Amino acid sequence: MTDDQLPNDPGSGPPPYVYALGRIDFRFPSTGVEKEFAQTIGRTRTANLTDRQALCEILAKPENRYLVRELTFVLTIRGTDTYILEPDDPRDFDLLADAVRPRPQPDDLDVVIGHRAACPTGGGCDGRALPVVRFSQIYSFDSDSLIGALEKPEDVSGEQFDAAAKELLARIMLVADNTGAAPEHRAINYLAVRCPSVYRRTFEAYRDESSLSSIEVRPSPVSQTRLVMNVVFAYTQRTTGVTDKHLFPVDATERYPYLQGSPQPYYDH
């Protein structure tokens, strides 16, 4: 059995897995590092660039890539610094550098997949000890790109579908305490970025005059050997009050969750 096949349990061997949605940014861990950046920028032509654009400009140069390893990279979730990010493979520092946008926008989104490690011993980020995530993969895009890549129903306008999809994505990102570490949150986050059918089902509910009334996640009572989370989306008809539920089973046993079987109607037992 490999590490990726072990349960997401701190007592079972490997550190807990993380599948988190947020925004990656950087911090200077010390005055010395900040001064080194300032001196490097001073030797570079940066006319008409903002401070952030100038920093991204020097990080993009191969001779300055050593500076990437000197920064502290953090994942912020709902505006709060949540994790310090470190690559499992040192060659993946480039993923961190590429995630720092020269012109950040409110809809920028980063997906971090990895596992939690011990808190840093040297003081952490800006003097705060944050959990460390050693990532194996990072995806960086904006919400418009994510929504634009979804396959849309043929009989509706793209504008209508995109509005419904953006609202669902925002709803998922506002789930309370969703730091992408608990199995239920990893399952929801996976659906948000890798499962087009959840967006289509939600759009169909809106088209039928229903509201998304709740998103619930519970362990599957069927699976005994795998960590399968049943993600249940409830849609309530706005006129009659009748609620229809739809099940998306997500296997969250390993580092990379996946949809186990097809989405299906769900009935309370």
Neighbours of 99 (CB within 10 A): 20
Give the tokens for residue 165.
Answer: 């999809």
58 part of a folded domain: no
Residue 142 has pLDDT above 90, yes or no: yes
Please indicate, yes or no, if residue 222 is contained in any of the structural domains.
yes
Residue 172 included in any domain:
yes
Dist. CA 101–CA 55, nearest whole Å: 10
pLDDT digits (tens, 9 = 90+) for 205-249: 999 999 999 999 999 988 788 999 999 999 999 999 999 999 999
In a domain, 128, yes or no: yes
**Count of CB atoms situated within 10 Å of the CB of 34:** 14
- The confidence score (pLDDT) of residue 216 equals 95
**Global pTM value:** 0.87
66 lies in some domain: no
Q: What's the structural domain count of the chain?
A: 1
Using alpha carbons only, give the angle 213, 214, 215 rounded to the nearest 5 degrees.
Answer: 150
| 132 vs 184: CA distance, rounded Å | 20
CA distance 109 to 170: 11
Cα angle for residues 195, 201, 204 (degrees, 5° grid): 145
In a domain, 89, yes or no: yes
- The reply to whether 100 falls in a domain is yes
165 found inside a domain: yes
Q: What is the residue range of 171's domain? A: 3-29+71-266
